[in-house]
Amino acid sequence: MNKALVCGLICCTAVAGAWAVEVEPAPNLVAHAPVDAASHAVPEFPSAAERNDERLRLSSERQALEDRYKQDMQQCYQKFDVTSCRLKARERRIEAHASLRQEELRFNAQERQIHALEARRQLAERNSESEQKKAQADRAAAVAAAKDRADANAQKQLDHALQGTKRGEFELKQREAAQRREDAAKNRRERKGEPAAPLPVPTR
Walking along the chain (204 residues) 10 residues at a time, the average pLDDT comes out as 44 42 40 45 77 91 91 88 89 90 92 91 87 84 84 77 68 80 84 63 58
**pLDDT score recorded for residue 58:** 92
pLDDT at 66: 92
The C-alpha atoms of residue 187 and residue 199 are separated, in whole angstroms, by: 14
Give the pLDDT of residue 56: 94
The pTM score is 0.41
How many CA atoms are closer than 13 Å to the CA of 125, on its beta-carbon side? 6
Instruction: Check residue 57 and give its pLDDT.
Output: 92
Q: What is the pLDDT of residues 112-145, one digit of tens each?
A: 999 999 899 899 988 888 888 888 888 888 888 8
Whole-number pLDDT of residue 201: 60
> What region, left, alpha or beta, does residue 147 occupy, with left being phi > 0 and alpha being psi -120 to 50 degrees?
alpha
* Confidence (pLDDT) at 60: 92
Q: Which pLDDT does position 20 carry in this prediction?
A: 39
Domain ranges of the chain: 47-169
Cα(56)–Cα(49) distance, integer angstroms: 11
Rounded CA-CA distance 159/156 in Å is 5
